[in-house]
Amino acid sequence: MQQILDVAYEGAEESVRTRFNLLVRPSAPAVQAQALRVAIAVVRRGDEVLLVCRRGEDALSWQFPAGMVKPGRTPAAVAVEETHAETGVRCAIRRHLGSRVHPVTGVLAEYQFAEYLMGEATNRDDRENDAVTWVPIADLPRFIPTEQIYPPILEVLA
């Protein structure tokens, strides 16, 4: 059967071969696959940093505000939007601190350093978070163990 098909293909006109090739080779997808990424906002207000107490499957954990980066979005924009959506705080990104595979979640984490602009810190996402608060930078290790904090965060908060 393959020989019959090969002979038919070789004897076909160029336009028929072109049409056949288009049918057997699907076009590339319009959207490229992307690794699962989160944008993490490190929001500083004077000598304080903004934290959310995230609800987990088994326990609560204090973290910086974060959100999933969907295709076509930038980590900086997601960090600003998620901070406001979760906490009511408006901030402006000052610089990208770096990226790493998060040691706990295994997703690509994009860290953004942000400056507080305005807004009261309130829990605006009761489903995902238990609490929202400003923490004195000196007390941050009481909420997140120092060895778990991405080193560029410690540098920018020093």
Domain ranges for the chain, please list them: 37-157
Cα dihedral across residues 58, 148, 146, 69: positive or negative: negative
Residue 81, C-beta contacts closer than 8 angstroms, at least 6 positions apart: 67
Long-range CB contact pairs, 56-59, < 8 A, 24+: none
Domain 37-157 = CATH 3.90.79.10: yes
Tens digits of residue pLDDT in 91-141: 999 999 999 998 888 899 999 999 999 999 999 998 999 999 999 999 999
pLDDT on residue 17: 79
pLDDT on residue 43: 98
